[in-house]
Structure 1
Amino acid sequence: MKAVVMAGGEGSRLRPLTLTRPKPMLPVVDRPLLGHILWLLKRHDIVDVVVTLQHMPTHIQDYFGDGRSLGVNIEYVIEEMPLGTAGSVRNAQPLLRDDEPFLVISGDALTDFDLTALMAFHRDRNALITMALYQVADPLDYGVINVDEQGRVAQFLEKPSWGKVTSDTVNTGIYVVQPEALARIPAGRPVDWSQEVFPAMLARGEPLFGYVARGYWCDIGALSEYQRANADLLNGHLKLDELGKRIGSGIWSDGSVEIAPDAQLFGPIYLGEEVKIKSGVVIHGPAVIRDYTILDNRARIDRAIIFRNCYIGEGVELHGAVVCRQCSIKARATAFEGVVIGDNTVIGERAILRPGVKLWPDKEIDAGATINHSIIWGSQGRRVLFGRYGVTGVVNVDLTPELAARLGAAYGSILPKGSTVTINRDPHRSPRMIKRGLISGLPSAGNNVLDLRQAPIPVARYYTRSIGAAGGAHVRLSPYDQRVVDIRFIDRTGLNVTREKERAIERAFFREDYRRAYMEDIGVIDYARDVADVYTRGYLTALNAPAIRDAGLKIVVDYAHAPAADVLPNLLDTLNVEVVPLNARVDPNKVSISHEEFRAGRAQLATIVAALGDVGLGVRLDVGGERIFLVDDTGVDLPDAVACAAVASLALRAHPGGTIVVAADQSHVFERLAERHNGHVRRCPVDLQAMMEAAAGGDAIMATDGGGNFIFPALHPVVDGLMAVGKLLELLAAQRVRLSEVVAELPPFHVATREVAAAWESKGRVMRCLVQQFGKYRHERLDGIKVYLADNAWVLIRPDADAALFHVVAEAATLAAAQEIAADYGGLVENLAQMSCGE
């Protein structure tokens, strides 16, 4: 059997490690990563190897040659352009035999899989292609695979969100392939196994199998994974070739070394050829010091990786750092966790490199300098930028003006040069500071900036879409923690940017490969002057304004001291609505309040409505102008789910046969309401972005998450509290009903919820176990797994996207029954999180 080793990877996320070498040539302890793969192939009697190359091909060809010195026969295929994971293999077809299967393996992952067992499994199943699968703690960045009892692939999800995860078993990129399978791959263009080939095979019902491999596998895609791979190899977690000669407890060497008698070495440690360790040096493993490196007196090395030909000066301290080839770290300099020092770099005496700093090759750092961000473009030691609420961080700790400037440059770099970006904020001074950092980064990438100052988020979204801007950003103080600032990015339609666009921003940010505009292309910064007017015109057009004016409504509105107070009063005045305003002065110091203050505010609103006695309803808006909280005309503070059901009932009355979009975790009362009016309910994942995308489909009359967020696509398919107020007034006026009457006609419903803590590494396993246990019953997998029970009851178990926990939601005929179901299934999740599926 032949093997195709895909070694064309650029490894851009590993820069600067991969700026001067291709990713498969990264040293992992004693040899390049590709060397470990070739050794594994030989161990399983695979000695004829085709290596596909694209990025820096001569580095690999010069090092390995024809493979004779390793006991293998290597042929090379060079791609003139990137052909993708499947296209690369198709390009190697002339060097493969047409009468036997071949192995495909990545040259930039570290593994000790039993390839012989994989090949035997493939033959036994008469498979066309067999994937090697592996169980991981965090499956979000991989292709998640579900297989049946025979190992046949039943479902393939490429890089799913937590709500879509149904297993912790992922595709490793190692395949056994029958030669006839190559006919499924078009020649001469980029083709990906996961995006094209496998989905097509599944659709055709072809024999695609998955073999769950045991052993070790690490896809080295980030610095932390590179460091972990080195540590795991040193700690003996892989069954690969010996690391050289053992010269002490947990200490290996691949040649002669010189170690001072008073040096202290605490393994595991690998020392390359001719390494010199001088007096007073202390090394705490896992640590790798490669060939011809000198550690001078009293240097302290802690969990560091040092490439060949480096000098580490007297008293230098390296804590979790990576030092590339031919670097000189002078006396008493310090490098902290996550630091990467590129090839041929000189660090001056007593210089300090703060955590996460990356230095590109050929740099020189002055003596005594403190480096807080990377040279040249900057970086931040974060694994990901985006969470559920956009880019989030503690202000001036995680989220600084410097980071915001680099984030602005990253966002601008993925947009067309010369495009316009809107920037908006809430009134607090912290978002104002971060917003100005964003503004400074965007023009550097050649983008124009329109500063909206402080507008409600829905107004900013509508304005961005209306003027044809390429996108926008809103900076706000978190409503959950006044120390935290959130940055939301929106696209040209006003929706939140997609996860794919978030990944593109993250790639630009972490690669530190920003577009730099020439002087004449630097963007222009200006203020937008017609924001409220543009929104007002669209708002009034989307409503039945005459019906509202004729009704002569009176309401109480709590503006929460937020920018909605600058827009909504004029709209309501135009609609002839009498308003009793509360907290109508914008106050930056009251943007973020405690839960107790929020509850007290709602109670006060209900008291005022009841005391007045002649108002149609009370409304409280959130700070961003997105969510609304309702009090009916009798002064009852409506629970959010009840308020949303009441608005849905009104909308379905006004539009018989219409479709409403509802989050997956909400009561089935919405289906019962839809049945009354021949309407339809479309469920969406429990995520505002998913709800907005579903509402943008064209046939929805409204959408809600059951928590006070509403979308009325007549204006725009985004969460908009101002529009929700207008639509509610229109529906009440046109139907001549009171909100309390609508609530009284709602069918009874009972929902109970529970949150269950679960370690991150257990979440994928828990979902796999749940799918195995309940897959044979009636269930849905829109977001997590929803299992239908007896007597029209159901339970939804959903992993949280940002926290180490699960959400359990249950509905039943009584509240007690719903609570019992939530408790039972919450207990099940707790047990699964602490054990394997078989226990």
Structure 2
Amino acid sequence: MKAVVMAGGEGSRLRPLTIKRPKPMVPIVGKPVMEHILNLLKRHGITEVIVTVQYLASNIEDYFGNGSQFGMRITYSREDVPLGTAGSVKNAEEHLTEPFLVISGDALTDYNLSDIIRFHQEKQALATLTLAHVHNPLEYGVIITNEDGHITQFLEKPSWGEVFSDTINTGIYVLDPRVLTYFEKNKPFDFSQDLFPLLLKKGDPIYGYIASGYWCDVGNLSEYMRANADALQGRVQIEIPGRHIGNSIWCEEGVEIAEDAQLYGPVYLGHDCKIKSGAIIHGPSIIGHYTIVDERAQVDRSIIWNNSYIGERAELRGALVGSSTSIKSKAVMFEGSVIGDNSIVQEGAIIQPNVKIWPDKEIETGAVVNNSIIWGSQGRRGLFGRYGVTGLVNIDLTPEFAASLGAAYGAILPKGSIVAVNRDSSHRTSRMIKRAIVAGLPSAGINVHDINQVPIPVARYYVRNTESVGGIHVRLSPHDPRIVDIKFFDQYGLDINKATERKVENLYFREDFRRVYIDDLGSIEVQENERVLNLYLEGFHKVVDEGLIRQRKFQIVMDYAHGSTTQLLPGIFNRLGVDVIILNTSADESLVTRTKDEVERDLQRLATITAALHTDLGIRIDPAGERIAVVDDRGRILDGMKMLAVMTSLMLRRFHQATVAAPVTAPSALQHIAKRYDGHILHTRVLPQALMATASREGVVLVGDGEGGFIFPEFLPAFDGMMAVAKLLELLAYFEAKLSEVVDDLPSYYLSRTRVACPWEHKGKVMRILSEQYRERRAKPIDGIKIDLGSKEWVLVLPDADRPLFHVVAESESSEQAQALAEKYARVVSGLQQ
């Protein structure tokens, strides 16, 4: 059997290591990772190989040649432009007339390839995918199979809510050559995104083989360090060059070790390296060929490539040093720091944790490097979470970070584009971060429209109805005064999607975002506040039946929560003829953020005033203007789900055969309401992006998140608390109803929620086992795993996207039963982590 080795990878997440070499040439214990793959192929009798190359292809071709010195026959297939994984193999189609193996040249594995090939033959498969269980499946394609190994579903790089398994695609395939007839030559085509879903759709025999053994994608710098450590510690079966001299120390030829040097394995010493007097090396560490570790230097859990120098009393602690680099005396490199090839760190300099330094740089004597060179910041799990980019002020989110983030976002947009930027009413914090972002955007050639301090719905509307291609809103977290949220909008004013988030993250972490020449620098224009507000109000008044509301002559209590909606709502209420008793109108930045207990006290006060004054209702709008909390005319506080049921009832009663979209956490009462009024409920994922995306679906008149957020697509397909207030008044006026009457007419329901802590590395496993155990009872997979237990009884297990925990939501026929059900499945989730 022949093998195709995929070796076109650029390895952008491994920069600066891959700036001067392709990813397959990155060394693992003294040999390029691709050489370990060729050795694995040879051990299983595969000696005829086609290598697909693109990025820095000559590096690979020069090293491996025709393969004769490695006991192989190698043919190369070059791509002039990226064609995707399948497209690159299609280029070599003339060499592939029989079943063949496809394997990545930039991953590390010791899988039994013979067993995989045998499985493929036994199943008479058209394609066999090698699968593995991993702790965090988010960065891989998740595969779901039945008991026979037949693949039933693909999920390409899912979010936590879509993870129904921890079984992922390793990129090792056995394929029948007939699969290459399914697509055209010289056109981009991908195995996991295009070909395999096509085979599944056609019903062709496509199988998954769950391999045992070691596999590592070597996808980023931490995985690279781990792969080397695993090799030294025997966790992966590869050939370690040199001889084993005891104490888990391997030496190649020409190594010199001083008598008083101290080495604590596992350690690999490349040929002709020198370990001088008093030096101390703690493993797992790798010292490359011709490298010198000078007197009394300390190397701890670090990797040093070839021809480098570690000076006297220098210290490396969990660091990575490229080739031909000098770390001079008394210099220190801390955990996670990386320095590229041909660089110099002068005497006494300190490289702080997670700093990356590009090749050909010099760090001056005594310098303390806190940020990456050329530009950069500290490593993070991921930039984006549910609320955008969030972090502690001046710790996670510094002005330097914000400027780089702005530049990274700008770099994915066309030069000369307009991005609207604004902030909330908190003064110092949001303003500092916003100005830093504004400074970063023009460096990427982006023109900034500074729309100052407006509510989020106004900012979204501005982006959607001007020439802006995107927007950024900076706010103090409504939950924690130490935290800032940075929200990014697309050209339609909606939260950017996951694909765009990944583009920004990739550019940010690669730290090579676009810098334009002086003639192309973007401009910064402050927009007149009145113009921005009037643009929103003009559209707002077109979709509200103002005459109907004026006739009703509502009296309400309004809590502005010290937010920026005070710029608009008083004028709106005046135009609608609403008599308003106002609370908390001052723009006090110290009161913008409220704890859960403080919000509950605010609502209790609102309820007391509403009932005492016999007003029609009370409303609290959040400082950002996106969500509302409501009290009815009897002083009852209506939680988010109750308000979702109220709005659903009013909208479906008003609009015949319409559709309301709601998250999978919504109660079954919504279905009963829809049936009553001949309407439809469309369930969605709980993330705001998913809810907003649903708003554009045909027939959808309302989207609610169950947390006080409502979307009215006829105006803006995004959450808007001001529009929610107006529409609630309009609907109550239309039906000449009191809010309490609508509430009393709702079907009863009982929900209970709880949370279960779960380490990140166990979340995928828990989802897989739950999916398998409750396969017969699982509802249609939308978000998390929903288990249908009968009429008005279900449980949803939902992994949190940002935190190491699960949410468990249950509905039953009484509050006690719902609570018991939630607690029962919380215990199930806890047990599956063992």
TM-score range, shorter chain: over 0.9
Residue identity opposite 1:546 in structure 2: G
What does 1:457-496 align with in structure 2 at a 5 Å threshold?
457-496=456-495
| Cα deviations by residue, 1:499-556 (Å, 9 ceiling, x for unpaired) | 0000011111111121112212111111121111111111111111110112111111
Deviation at 1:792, TM superposition (A): 3.2
| Cα deviations by residue, 1:217-275 (Å, 9 ceiling, x for unpaired) | 00011111111111110110011224421123011112221111221111111100111
| Corresponding residue for residue 61 of structure 2 | 61
2:535 matches 1:534:
yes
2:40 matches 1:11:
no
Work out whether residues 315 and 331 of structure 1, in 8 Å CA contact, stay in contact via their aligned partners in 2: yes
| Corresponding residue for residue 726 of structure 2 | 726
SS in 1 for 2:581: strand
| Corresponding residue for residue 501 of structure 1 | 500
Query: Normalising by the residue count of structure 1, what TM-score does the alignment of the two structures yield?
Result: 0.98
Cα distance in 1, alignment partners of residues 694 and 624 from structure 2: 22
Residue identity opposite 2:555 in structure 1: K
Deviation at 1:640, TM superposition (A): 2.2
SS in 2 for 1:790: coil
SS in 1 for 2:245: strand
SS in 2 for 1:298: coil
Cα distance in 2, alignment partners of residues 181 and 652 from structure 1: 49
Structure 1 residues 309, 330: closer, same or farther in 2, change over 3 A?
same
Cα distance in 2, alignment partners of residues 594 and 81 from structure 1: 53
2:608 matches 1:610:
no
| Corresponding residue for residue 765 of structure 1 | 765
Cα distance in 2, alignment partners of residues 146 and 358 from structure 1: 38
Work out whether residues 3 and 105 of structure 1, in 8 Å CA contact, stay in contact via their aligned partners in 2: yes
Work out whether residues 287 and 304 of structure 1, in 8 Å CA contact, stay in contact via their aligned partners in 2: yes
| Corresponding residue for residue 626 of structure 1 | 626
| Corresponding residue for residue 513 of structure 1 | 512
Deviation at 1:822, TM superposition (A): 1.3
Work out whether residues 668 and 792 of structure 2, in 8 Å CA contact, stay in contact via their aligned partners in 1: no
Residue identity opposite 1:417 in structure 2: K
| Corresponding residue for residue 701 of structure 1 | 701
Cα distance in 2, alignment partners of residues 462 and 699 from structure 1: 21
| Cα deviations by residue, 1:625-681 (Å, 9 ceiling, x for unpaired) | 111000111211122221221122111111121110111011011111111110000
What does 1:287-686 align with in structure 2 at a 5 Å threshold?
287-428=285-426, 429-529=428-528, 530-613=531-614, 615-686=615-686
Q: How many pairs are equivalent?
A: 831
Cα distance in 1, alignment partners of residues 187 and 658 from structure 2: 44
> Structure 1 runs of 4+ off > 4 angstroms?
none
What does 1:115-126 align with in structure 2 at a 5 Å threshold?
115-126=113-124
Work out whether residues 421 and 451 of structure 2, in 8 Å CA contact, stay in contact via their aligned partners in 1: yes
Structure 1 residues 778, 524: closer, same or farther in 2, change over 3 A?
closer
Residue identity opposite 1:286 in structure 2: P
| Corresponding residue for residue 147 of structure 2 | 149
Cα distance in 2, alignment partners of residues 761 and 514 from structure 1: 31
SS in 1 for 2:453: coil
Cα distance in 2, alignment partners of residues 258 and 574 from structure 1: 87
Cα distance in 2, alignment partners of residues 582 and 570 from structure 1: 16
Deviation at 1:377, TM superposition (A): 2.5
What does 1:770-785 align with in structure 2 at a 5 Å threshold?
770-785=770-785
What does 1:779-798 align with in structure 2 at a 5 Å threshold?
779-798=779-798
Cα distance in 2, alignment partners of residues 642 and 342 from structure 1: 57
Cα distance in 1, alignment partners of residues 583 and 768 from structure 2: 50
SS in 2 for 1:753: strand
Cα distance in 2, alignment partners of residues 591 and 641 from structure 1: 24
Please identify, of 777-786 and 347-356, the stretch whose mean Cα deviation from structure 2 is larger.
777-786
Work out whether residues 413 and 515 of structure 1, in 8 Å CA contact, stay in contact via their aligned partners in 2: yes
Cα distance in 1, alignment partners of residues 536 and 195 from structure 2: 46
Deviation at 1:776, TM superposition (A): 1.9
Cα distance in 2, alignment partners of residues 117 and 457 from structure 1: 56
Residue identity opposite 1:505 in structure 2: V
Deviation at 1:793, TM superposition (A): 1.1
Residue identity opposite 2:656 in structure 1: P
2:77 matches 1:50:
no
Residue identity opposite 1:249 in structure 2: N
| Corresponding residue for residue 282 of structure 2 | 284
Cα distance in 2, alignment partners of residues 131 and 69 from structure 1: 30
Work out whether residues 423 and 473 of structure 1, in 8 Å CA contact, stay in contact via their aligned partners in 2: yes
Deviation at 1:468, TM superposition (A): 2.5
Query: Normalising by the residue count of structure 2, what TM-score does the alignment of the two structures yield?
Result: 0.98
2:200 matches 1:202:
yes
Work out whether residues 7 and 24 of structure 2, in 8 Å CA contact, stay in contact via their aligned partners in 1: yes
| Corresponding residue for residue 165 of structure 2 | 167
SS in 2 for 1:647: helix
SS in 2 for 1:415: coil
| Cα deviations by residue, 1:387-423 (Å, 9 ceiling, x for unpaired) | 1111111110111000100000000010111111011
Cα distance in 1, alignment partners of residues 445 and 178 from structure 2: 49
Cα distance in 2, alignment partners of residues 388 and 599 from structure 1: 23
Deviation at 1:778, TM superposition (A): 5.0
Match of 2:137 among 136, 139, 146: 139
Cα distance in 1, alignment partners of residues 238 and 369 from structure 2: 39
Deviation at 1:698, TM superposition (A): 3.4
Cα distance in 2, alignment partners of residues 714 and 779 from structure 1: 31
Work out whether residues 630 and 638 of structure 2, in 8 Å CA contact, stay in contact via their aligned partners in 1: yes
Cα distance in 2, alignment partners of residues 380 and 790 from structure 1: 49
Work out whether residues 661 and 684 of structure 1, in 8 Å CA contact, stay in contact via their aligned partners in 2: yes
| Cα deviations by residue, 1:715-755 (Å, 9 ceiling, x for unpaired) | 10101111100110111111111101111111111111121
| Cα deviations by residue, 1:604-626 (Å, 9 ceiling, x for unpaired) | 1111111111x111000111111
Work out whether residues 780 and 787 of structure 1, in 8 Å CA contact, stay in contact via their aligned partners in 2: no
Structure 1 residues 396, 778: closer, same or farther in 2, change over 3 A?
closer
Cα distance in 2, alignment partners of residues 591 and 792 from structure 1: 39
Which consecutive unaligned segments of at least 5 residues does structure 2 have?
Answer: none
Cα distance in 2, alignment partners of residues 728 and 448 from structure 1: 38
Computed over aligned residues only, the root mean square deviation of the Cα atoms, in angstroms, reads 1.1
| Cα deviations by residue, 1:184-223 (Å, 9 ceiling, x for unpaired) | 1321111100111011100100011110000000001111
Cα distance in 2, alignment partners of residues 77 and 821 from structure 1: 58
Structure 1 residues 335, 242: closer, same or farther in 2, change over 3 A?
closer
| Corresponding residue for residue 837 of structure 1 | none
Work out whether residues 771 and 778 of structure 2, in 8 Å CA contact, stay in contact via their aligned partners in 1: no
| Cα deviations by residue, 1:409-442 (Å, 9 ceiling, x for unpaired) | 0000101111110111112211111111100000
Work out whether residues 435 and 475 of structure 1, in 8 Å CA contact, stay in contact via their aligned partners in 2: yes
What does 1:80-99 align with in structure 2 at a 5 Å threshold?
80-96=80-96, 98=97
Please identify, of 370-379 and 78-87, the stretch whose mean Cα deviation from structure 2 is larger.
370-379
SS in 2 for 1:406: helix
Work out whether residues 254 and 272 of structure 1, in 8 Å CA contact, stay in contact via their aligned partners in 2: yes
**Aligned residues with identical type, % of pairs:** 52
Cα distance in 1, alignment partners of residues 496 and 792 from structure 2: 37
SS in 2 for 1:825: helix
SS in 1 for 2:467: coil
Work out whether residues 355 and 381 of structure 1, in 8 Å CA contact, stay in contact via their aligned partners in 2: no
Work out whether residues 11 and 219 of structure 2, in 8 Å CA contact, stay in contact via their aligned partners in 1: yes
| Cα deviations by residue, 1:426-462 (Å, 9 ceiling, x for unpaired) | 1221111111110000011111111111111111111
SS in 1 for 2:422: strand
